[in-house]
Structures are given as structure tokens and as C-alpha cells.
Chains A and B, each alone.
Chain A
């Protein structure tokens, strides 16, 4: 048994990529130890921007040898009729490296004792390390001189110790040794590790905190001490913490103050200037934004006064930029921005943002009329929601661009627009994704959010950016899911078909094919959403989505009602009946849904009487239909479903006793009409033939 230390050293790998590398490496090593059932005392992996480290304690030398009884080929393949070993039999012995005498016969098969194990574990480990390094799923890789593999950044050293000895290994033209390097910011010293313990001592002495959690702790401790000394609280931002952990090997937490005059800028602007590029933390004092900021240095031996001064200088330049934009942007009125928006293209073929504002204003009014009908004028609100796109702060394309909507809100307030109107600038983007915590609160924001998202989705299909595979240029899959989430969570009963049609009219498009594509796209998202979020099976969703009107809360309600019934035997029997109705109608067309109950009149005074089963099915269906008209008005879907389910017995009896495809054409047609009558009634709720019952293959879409 021995302790093994492996370190791969490279030039600084980006934050997200180092996370990928670390997880992949850690997983693969642990997986190997588990699969090969290797008993070790401990496995530890560490990583910094410049290295990943693996430490295994008490790694055994070889995989234990053991005999395993294994099944071979059938006896009649292994031996011929005379009991001699066949050609195949000899081949088998050779391939397993065993002798004739190792073979036993049992239950018509040949059995043998296989010897397993004995491999050198260090060799297996080396192989896994090498294969892992060569196959890391980085987003982006590069080549460099001397490398035969692609990696996120050049690999520069490998330290590989087995107790005190160097293990041989070569990856990307780099040979393993006992050499490593210290923290780059503190001189990047070349170091020789005499032993594994010595390696960790060297790391400590040279300011490399290998452990992620150690670095995290250093950052938290720094915050704590500043809180105690200055009474400032760091605004916690987990993403930013993670970035700083993977940008440093030894984080030192420092505090500096920027000029108080910048506190006049809205808080999100200050935070963006601190965070987006510089990775600094904002702080609060007594709950209010403070002009102190926290930054992280990687060099504990640096001159901290110089560091503070220089970091402050960089931040000041960024805040001055923001201040300049803020002041110059506010010199324009909202109507000036209306004019500027006419020159900014929304997307190719979809006009300018001026056009977009006109469309979402009209679509919001339409949505309002179909929702609570508050008769709100959306012209100005639509402008408030988008005007910041024409501001210099957003157009700059740098760290403040992410503040779209938030900038609009603050500018609108400065322009004297009442808060309840200004808020739409932020809120009409909410929810940005499904399950977003940020939701539009005002009625106006909700309506504009629906209009904006629908306008994006329809626009993508018109401009040729329909999402396919992993391509979704306008990111409308996200918009669609966010829209469904909004309608679901706020229980909004609007008919999406109507909004989609209106949006197409506003785009001046009347292509029927596009409407079908969009509706299919939306329905597929609804299937995804409800099956994930409300655990309703897809077949049931396909049933209730087959109706013409897409009203999200109704689809959910119906889906849940059916899901509740689905397991009962009565329901299953009914579905079998409905499938029969639908199958018959697929081959034989009904001429209409007018069923004649007066059989004598139908057959010109024939003596034939109508079957009582046929009669009772018709009468029951008629009464269900009439009752359901009332329930439909009140949207009492539970009652509608109950009524439909109540037809089970009559349908069953009908199929058991009546032959639909009668020789007499008139009788036959009359019965088909009855089936159609029933199908039409069911289809008002959903296409029940889409429901899958046990033992049946699901229909492919």
C-alpha cells in the first residue's frame, strides 16, 4: 500500500471550465475506485485556477486475485457428438487461457473457473487519469505548441508521487516529475516536493490554498472582520463568490471606498459597475448602500495600499462612465427616445423597436379586452417598457447592458413618471424563465409581459428563427415556457389562439402554415411544462390539448381531472369504447351527426325495430349534451367529465349488442352518425382516443 499524489498544472483556466474539469476528474476517479472495488483510506481532490490535485491514501498495489465460476458455451457447441472438443471449443479455451481440465459440464452448458485480478492498480489509475484529462467536456478547447491533445489552456507540469517516488506519466508532451509551482501572483516559484507531506507544506508556504472550501472560508472571514471593524455588510452574491474562488489561489479580502458622490447613481448601476467586470462586492451600512466595496487579491504579500489605490482608480473610471451616461441619458425626454427607437432594428424582417412598441401596445390592449377588460391605454406603457434600449447606458454594450428594464425603471422615475407606470419597464420582462421568482405584480405589467413574449415568439417564426435542435436564436423556448408559467401561476384565462392570431395580424401575416407551426410549438411547450411541473402524463395532455382553444388554466384543470380518473376500471373501459368509436370513424365516414331515431321513417315503413341499446345510447347522449352545455357555460369541467363518463355503460352495451356496419346502408349510416355525435361531444373536452391505457403502445407524434 502507498499514498499517491497527482497534480496537473496548467495556465489559468476560466471559471466555468475549471468547475467542469474538477467535477469530471473527481467523478471519474471515484467511479474507478468504486467499480474496481479498490479499498483505500481516503480520496481527496482539490482545484485552483492553475491546478487539479488528487490525493489517495493507502492505495493497494494490485487488484486481489480471485477465482470466479463462469458460464461458457452450450455443451453441444463445445463438444461434438463423440465427446471431442470442437474447433469452437478450442478457440474458447485459448481465448480464456484455460485448459481442457478446467471445464465442467452442468445443465447443458460448459462452466469454468476464471482467474481475475492481479492487475497493478497504479497502472489502472494512470490510464484513467490520462483518459480523463483527454476527454474533459470543456465548452471550448485550444491547441498549443508541443501538445497532441486539446485542452482549455496549455498544460505545463505534472507532479506525480507514489510515496516519495516519481511515477512515470506523460500527457500532452509533459512528463511527470516532483516539480511544482507556487502562487503566480507571489512570484510563481519553482518548487521541488521531496514527499507528499512536503508538497502540502510547500503549497502552504507559497500561498496556494488548494481546497476550494478553504478559499471560501478565507473570503467569508474577510467579510466578517470588515463587518466588525467598519460596520459594513457585504452583499452576498453566490455567483460572485464562486468566481472569486476560482480566480485566486489564496484570496485576501480588502476594502476600499469610492467617492460618495457616486451614491447618487441608482443602486443597480453601482452594483453592475462593481460586479460585472471587476468582480467586486457591494456593501451596505445600516441597510443602505455604502460607498465601501470589497475586492479580492491573490497576492498576500502585495503592497495593500497600492492595491487599494489602483483598484479604486479602475472602479472610478467605470463609475464615471456610468455617471456620464446617466446624466446625458436624462437630458432626453421619453418622446426623444420614441424617435430614436425608430432607428434601432429589433430583428431582421421584424422592423424597428418603434414597430415593436406599436405591436405590443396593440397586442396588450387586445389581451386586456380578452382578460379583465380594464380598457387601459397601453401606448405610453409600451414605450416606458422599451425606451431604455435607446439609452447610451444600454447601447454601450458593456457591463450595464444587463440592466435593461432596470435602467428604464430608474430613468422613468427621474423623468417624473409615476411609480405604478415606471414599474412596467422592469416587470414586463418578468418572469424571465419558468419558475422565475421575479413576477410582474401590476395588471399592466402582466398584460405587457404576455404581449411582449407572444410578439417575440411569433416574430421568431416569421423571421425564420424558429427553434430547431439546440438552435434558438431569439431564445423563444424560454419565452414560451415563461409565458405558460405566468398564465398558470396567475390563473389567467385568456385564449392563446386568439392572442397568437392577433399578433400575426399585427405583423401583417396571414400564412396558415405559420399559425399551425406556432400552435404546435406552444402545445409542445405546454406538454413539457405540465408534465414536469404538475406531473400530468403526456398522453392526457395530448388529449386535452386537442381542443381548439388554448386556455392554460382550463387545460390544467381538465388534465388533472382526467389524471385523477385514469386508474379506475370504469375509465379504462370507457377509453376502450371511445377508441373503438374513433377507429370505426377513421375508416367509415359519418355523413353528419344527425341521427334519426325514427327507424321506420328512415327505412320507409320497414318492420324493423330500433335496437333498445342503440336507442338508449342516443337518448343518454342527447341528455349529456344538453346538460353539458350548461356546465360548459359555467366551466364546470368536473361535472362535464362526470357526465361523459356516465356514458360508459351505454357505449359498452351498444358495442356488445349492435353491429354498426350493418348490410343495410341506411341503417349503417345512421349508426355511424350516432358515433360521430358521441365523438363530437367528447372532443369538446378532449381527444380521449389519445389516452394510453396499459399494455398499449403509445402513439408517436
Chain B
């Protein structure tokens, strides 16, 4: 099964479970959790079922397109289901069968891994899912988001699409994955991967990024004060990406690091609280 068919199959599967099919966010995020369709929408205790492809940008993880397993950009397929149903592990296993993994022939294991994002103030308990020793999915019952204790517990399932595709297509390199029937991953992605690595590690303008961080922070606060939740949150995402870029450029000392993370977490917290307040006043 090629890469695009796998995405189509996953969409098909989760749509059949009444999930809203959402789309990737239009600003760079490090994880699907940053997408407002996750971060903001799980804060209240409403029912929320959504599935979407997300582009995960992690500037520091790149290897100039030289290592076939490490990239500064990966594709994730994200499912958020609130409140989490009792049989979600079974539904997930079924989804693997839907994309052509004969689970009876493999060894699927749920191995402890509690995912958290200190920048988002997001914390949960869960596992990484192993398929024959390979980590293919992150599975998290969120307990906290935007530093707020959640009332209704959502489950977040994050499929690592490249890894699953490597298993399905029996390939040892992401470069060689069949994206479609006639194009490889490398045909489509490799040049941009190489160029972005050069940007992330060598070219990105540090002063500009620092300014961008400061500006994003003040914009987030300004807009949040005006109760413009989604636009304000957009600037949190921007601030977070500026920080990740600075980090990849080696422009963040360990001492400054904590400060940056704390600033973003405070922004996320402020906006999460604003979101809930606005909702209360609308009722």
C-alpha cells in the first residue's frame, strides 16, 4: 500500500467511526496536539471526535536529508476522541487491519510512555504502540491541557505514518517509500528536506527569529485580551516555532531554554483560560 492510500484508508476508517475529518493546520506545529482542533477543543467537556493529517515540524531533528530515518518534518495522522471510549485500544487495532496490517501475524504491544509537552502545558498517560519492536503510534489519555486539569478525558492517537509505511512496504529507508504508484517520497520531499535543514541549522536569521518570538508573544497577549481566542492562539504556535528554530540554530543556551518554554506555556495557559471564560459567557 502506498503512502497516499494509507492516508486515505485511515481517513476512511475514522470517518466510519463518526470522526470529523479535519485538515493540517496552516502554521508550523511540532505535534498535532498544537493544532487548535486538539488544544482548544478538548478544554471543555463537550463530545469531540476528529481525525486529521498533521505535518510535524521539528527543526532540530533534521540530518540534511542524509539519514534515511531522521527528518525535520514528518507526517502524523491524528485522532482525538473525547470522552475516550472504553474499547479504544480495540478500535485502534482494527484501524491497523484496515490499512493492511494483519495484526494476527505481528506482535502488537502497548509500552509505557507518558507523552507531555512542557510548552503547551499538556500532560497525559499512555503508551507508545510497538509493532514487532517498532514504535508506530503514540497513545495518550490527556489529563491536562494548557496547564488546566481536564474534566472529560480525551484520548489522542498519533500514527507515525512514515514508520508504518516502512513496515507495510518493507522498506529500510523513508526516501524509498512509494508515495503514490509512480512517485517516491524522495521525488516529492527530498529537496525541500535538504533545504530546510540548511535553513534550520545554518541560514535562519537569529535576530529575526528573536524578534519574531517577542512580537508573537505580545500579539498573543494583546489579542487574547480582546477575546480573539483563535488568532491569539495562532501567535502561540508562531512563538513556539520561532523557539524551535532558535534551538536548532544553537542560539538558545540551556539557561535561556527554561525561560522560553515557560513563556510559551504561560501564553498557552492564558489563552486556554480565556477560551473557557468566553464559552461560559456565551452560554
- Measured CB to CB, the residues of A under 8 A from B are 11-12, 14-15, 140, 142-146, 152-154, 156, 184-188, 247-248, 278, 280, 295, 297-299, 301-303, 306-307, 309-311, 313-317, 320-321, 324, 344-345, 348
Contact = CB atoms under 8 A, between A and B. Distances in A.
Given A142-B141, A295-B133, A310-B132, A302 B255 contact: no
Given A11-B89, A144-B84, A145-B83, A303 B67 contact: no
Contact of A140 (B70, B108, B125, B172): B125
Given A15-B112, A145-B152, A313 B107 contact: no
A247 B89 contact: no
A184 B108 contact: yes
B153 A298 contact: no
Interface in B91-130: 93, 103-112, 114, 124-125, 127
A598 B134 CA distance: 92
Given A142-B124, A142-B143, A306-B106, 20 more contacts: A142-B141, A145-B83, A185-B109, A186-B104, A188-B93, A278-B133, A280-B133, A298-B107, A299-B104, A299-B108, A307-B107, A310-B106, A310-B133, A310-B167, A311-B134, A314-B132, A316-B172, A317-B172, A321-B69, A348-B255
A302 B107 contact: yes
A12 B132 contact: no
Contacts of A309: 170
Nearest to A18: B112
A329 to B, nearest CB: 15
A258 to B, nearest CB: 12
Contacts of B254: 344-345
Nearest to B82: A145
Contacts of A298: 107, 109
A399 to B, nearest CB: 12
A495 B107 CA distance: 59
Interface residues of B, number: 39
A247 B85 CA distance: 24
Given A14-B112, A145-B84, A310-B133, A187 B69 contact: no
B69 A317 contact: yes
A501 B143 CA distance: 48
A474 to B, nearest CB: 14
A299 B114 contact: no
Nearest to A174: B86
A152 B93 CA distance: 21
B184 to A, nearest CB: 19
A344 B93 CA distance: 44
B141 A144 contact: yes
Contacts of A144: 84, 141, 153
A12 B127 contact: yes
A278 B166 CA distance: 18
Contact of B125 (A153, A184, A187, A306): A153
Contacts of A313: 134, 166, 172
B171 to A, nearest CB: 9
A467 to B, nearest CB: 21
Given A156-B86, A299-B107, A306 B132 contact: yes
A314 B133 contact: yes
Interface in B245-263: 253-255
B44 to A, nearest CB: 14
Contacts of A145: 83-86, 152-153
A12 B109 CA distance: 9
B167 to A, nearest CB: 6
Of listed A299, A301, A324, A345, residue having the most chain B CB within 10 A: A299
B132 A311 contact: yes
A143 B253 contact: no
B125 A302 contact: no
Given A15-B112, A297-B107, A142 B125 contact: yes
A143 B172 contact: no
B90 interface: yes
A66 B117 CA distance: 61
B131 interface: yes
B97 to A, nearest CB: 11
A295 B109 CA distance: 13
Interface string B60-96: 0000000101100000000000011110011001000
A426 B127 CA distance: 34
Contacts of A248: 109
Contacts of A299: 104, 106-108
Nearest to A184: B108
Interface in B12-35: none
Contacts of B124: 142
Lowest 9 CB-CB distances: which A-B pairs, in order? A310-B132, A14-B112, A145-B83, A12-B110, A311-B133, A303-B105, A142-B125, A345-B254, A299-B107
Contacts of B103: 187
A348 B111 CA distance: 35
14 contacts: A142-B124, A145-B84, A145-B152, A154-B141, A184-B89, A184-B108, A278-B133, A280-B133, A298-B109, A299-B107, A303-B105, A310-B132, A314-B133, A315-B133
Contact of B109 (A146, A247, A317): A247
B106 A302 contact: yes
Given A145-B83, A302-B107, A317-B69, A140 B134 contact: no
Contacts of B170: 309
A11 B110 contact: yes
Contacts of A317: 69, 172
A153 B110 CA distance: 12
Interface in B40-65: none
B134 A187 contact: no
B127 to A, nearest CB: 6
Given A345-B254, A345-B255, A143 B153 contact: yes
Interface in B160-178: 166-167, 170, 172
A146 B253 CA distance: 45
A297 B132 CA distance: 8
A307 B108 CA distance: 11
A142 B89 CA distance: 17
A142 B124 CA distance: 8
Contacts of B86: 145-146, 154, 156
Nearest to B109: A298
A307 B167 CA distance: 11
A146 B83 CA distance: 9
Nearest to B67: A324
Of listed B69, B103, B112, residue having the most chain A CB within 10 A: B112
